[in-house]
Amino acid sequence: MKAAIYKGPGVIEIEDIEAPKMKKDEYLVKVVYSGLCGTDVKTYKQGHRYFEPPCILGHEFSGVIVDAGEDVDKSLIQKKITCAPYVSCNNCSECRKGLYELCNCKDGISSGTFTEYITIPKNVAEKGMVVVNNDCNMSELSLSEPVACVLNSVRKLDFKPGSNVLIMGAGSMGLIHAEIFTKFGANKVLVTDFNEQRLKVAQQLGAAVANPKKTAIKEWIKEQTSGEGLDYIVVAIGAPAAVEEAFNYADNGTIINIFGGLANGSRINIDPNIIHYNEVKLIGSFGFAPNDFKMAARLLQSQRITLGKIITDHIEIDSIKKAFELSLQQETIKAVISF
Ligand SMILES: [Zn+2]
Ligand SMILES: [Zn+2]
């Protein structure tokens, strides 16, 4: 079978490798679509401590079950699915606190998903696999994982309909936030970015947009929210300066979520009085819990959440290197690999 092998920064090659051997407690799945994630792009650019080359990257996917071992449900053969790349154990100290996304002993699918076939162990299937209808949009379904991460963000913010939200950064994750906040009934969804093309997409999703190079953001927020200010700010840019900037835009009681990962050892400089006197809260969210994943797949299957404007490119596995290069140069917002 074909697989895209990551061999170190800047090097990814299509190779013919042996298909995984399905065990009796596993499903064999043919990958149909697989999303190119920020983490994959970062790994391609500079390497990543979690991904030791050579290996197969990719973790966002949709597929079809083509075979099932004797200890799993054979009636699912031919069904279309998506599956969480990892699931929590539901038993460790983190899981007992309800922090499933931070589980100490996660279990997962057999390999990265930039390949034709993967296997899904029973435990992972039971906790993280979602079977969908035949007419499901499989390209959008492949992005259940990033949508799940945004649902975790929304959950950690304790988002309430009717509130005002600012999203800093209109990359694919910022834009998925915009789509979800709009559909979940935010009063105002504001998005800032330097990239005009991305702002245009945010606008199409129903957000008000501004480029900090051209607009005084603080005044703009005031205007847009009729002087009421922001209830939530999502920092969807991996830059410490953006977190500091968020404190500038916060109002009394605003909750700021550091959604984008920052380089190791980053520091921010803020006046703690903003946290004390203005009761501004700084939180973080990372990954997703199995339940976020199920909700995400449902929302995509029912088309309550749609990603048609965010997925800018479908690229065949043979041209995956091009997908990485386009993503690096910000020529694409979200690329989905097809097989
Ligand atoms: Zn991802
Ligand atoms: Zn656990």
How high is the pLDDT of residue 42?
A: 93
* Ligand 1 mean position, distance from CA 298 (Å): 17
pLDDT at 49: 87
Residue 194 falls within a domain, yes or no? yes
Contacts of residues 187-191 at CB distance under 8 Å and 24 or more positions apart, as own/partner, are 187/162, 187/163, 188/164, 188/224, 188/225, 189/165, 190/164, 190/165, 190/166, 190/220, 190/221, 190/224, 190/225, 190/230, 191/166, 191/167
The pLDDT score that the predictor gives to residue 38 is 92
How far does residue 291's CA lie from ligand 2's centre (Å)? 14
* CA 163–ligand 1 middle distance (angstroms): 27
Asked if 184 and 242 sit in the same domain, the reply is yes
Is 289 inside a domain boundary?
no
What's the CA-to-centroid distance between 288 and ligand 1, angstroms? 10
Same domain, 201 and 312: no
Closest-approaching ligand to the CA atom of 149: 1
**pTM for this structure?**
0.97
Residues 132 and 6 in one domain: yes
Q: Which amino acid is at 149?
A: C
CA distance 144 to 160: 22
Give the per-residue pLDDT at 50: 87
> Quick check: is 125 in a domain?
yes
Q: How far is the CA of 68 from the centre of ligand 2 (A)?
A: 26
Q: What is the pLDDT of residues 260-284, one digit of tens each?
A: 999 889 999 999 999 999 999 999 9
Q: Is residue 299 part of a domain?
A: no
CATH assignment at residue 198:
3.40.50.720
- What's the confidence (pLDDT) of residue 212? 98
Query: What pLDDT was estimated at residue 325?
Result: 96
How far does residue 59's CA lie from ligand 1's centre (Å)? Answer: 6
Q: Which ligand is nearest to the CA of 60?
A: 1
pLDDT at 330: 84
Q: Which domain holds residue 232?
A: 150-284
Q: Are residues 159 and 139 in the same domain?
A: no
Residue 278 DSSP code: S
Tell me, yes or no, whether 9 and 138 share the same domain: yes
Using an 8 Å Cβ cutoff, are 173 and 296 in contact?
A: no
- Low-confidence spans in the chain with pLDDT less than 50: none
**Residue 154 and residue 22 share a domain:** no
Closest ligand to residue 91's CA:
2
Which ligand sits nearest to residue 59's alpha carbon?
A: 1
Looking at the domain assignment, is residue 297 inside a domain?
no
CA of 294 to the centre of ligand 1 (A): 15
**Could you tell me the two tokens for 254?**
């605003």
Identify the pLDDT of residue 331: 83
* 271 shares a domain with 181: yes
Question: Given CA atoms 97, 263, 205, 337 in this order, what sign does their dihedral have?
Answer: negative
* Same domain, yes or no: 19 and 62: yes
Considering the domain architecture, whether residues 280 and 324 belong to the same structural domain is answered as no
Q: Report the domain count for the chain.
A: 2
**The predicted structure's pLDDT at residue 105:** 96
Ligand 2 mean position, distance from CA 103 (Å) = 4
CATH number of the structural domain spanning residue 35: 3.90.180.10
Q: 300 in a domain, yes or no? A: no
Answer yes or no: do 114 and 36 share one domain. yes
Cα radius of gyration rounded to whole Å, the chain? 20
Residue 291 domain flag: no
In a domain, 293, yes or no: no
* Ion ligand 1 nearby residues (CB, 5 A): 37, 60, 145
**What pLDDT score does 191 carry?**
98
Say if residue 6 is in the same domain as residue 21. yes
